[in-house]
Amino acid sequence: MSTPHIKAEKKDIAKTVLMPGDPLRAKYIADTFLDNVTQFNEVRNMFGYTGYYNGRKISVMGSGMGQPSIGIYSYELFKFFDVENIVRIGSCGAYSKDLKLYDTILASEAFSESTYAYVQNKEKRDTLPASRDLNNKLVSIAKDLDIPLNIGIVHSSDVFYRENPDDAIKQAKEKDLLGVEMESYALFHNANVTDKKAACLLTVSDSLVTSESTTPEERQTAFTNMMKIALELAE
């Protein structure tokens, strides 16, 4: 079975797929946390793997950066490969000085200025909820693992480099946004239109208010807490 961007058999992809932005992070997660790993996609180097976490099946695949990219991959997984749950596991910039580097965020909702949802299906809401069911599970797992979660609205921005970054901070205050990333809104919309479930866990990789930041190497390896929570969704 093949779609324009994924060449795989349905049976080779688990019901739950974790999606980091970077396909090499998908490979790192599969190599580090999963047993009996098989690779199911290599089209455009957007690597996807299926394996077992403590004996339970789960897949992990890169989404690429931005709403158009995760929009394509998550739609194909939901619609054509019978995937039921997608959890984005990404990084974000913190809008609040109360958040520290490496804190973990669970998105209750994603706000965006993006036209993705309107163009895709005339969706007029600029703020879309994550799956309540998946979020309840993730909250309970995090509690069991004793990992603190910051739960709130995230900003799915289409722009990384702004000429006026202060505007984003002002908007974040007005709308009570915890942090900024670039994918969740499109993912949540695709889950809505395909009647599937999506959630988003984020690790704070930089701060827009304190200008702390991490190195690419740290970003690659320091997301263990978030991954431990998400991997427990394996079944």
Give the residue, chosen from 48, 62, 64, 93, that forms a contact with ligand HPA under the rule CB under 6 A: 93
Site mask for ligand HPA (CB under 6 A), range 10-49, x = bound: ----------------------------------------
| Structural element, H or E, at residue 140 | helix 132-145
Residue 103 token pair: 């804190």
- Show the DSSP H helices in 164-222 as ranges: 165-175, 184-194, 216-221
For residue 182, the minimal CB distance to ligand HPA (Å) is 5
Nearer to ligand HPA, 41 or 74 (CB): 74
177 forms part of the interface with ligand HPA (CB under 6 A) = no
Nearer to ligand HPA, 92 or 199 (CB): 92
Can 206 be counted among the known catalytic residues? yes
# residues contacting ligand HPA (CB under 6 A): 10
Long-range contacts of residues 194-197, Cβ cutoff 8 Å, at least 24 apart: 194/75, 194/78, 194/79, 196/78, 196/83, 196/84, 196/85, 196/86, 197/84, 197/85, 197/86, 197/131, 197/133, 197/134
**Catalytic residue IDs:** 206
Which residues of the shown chain bind ligand HPA in the complex (CB under 6 A)? 91-93, 157, 160, 180-182, 205-206
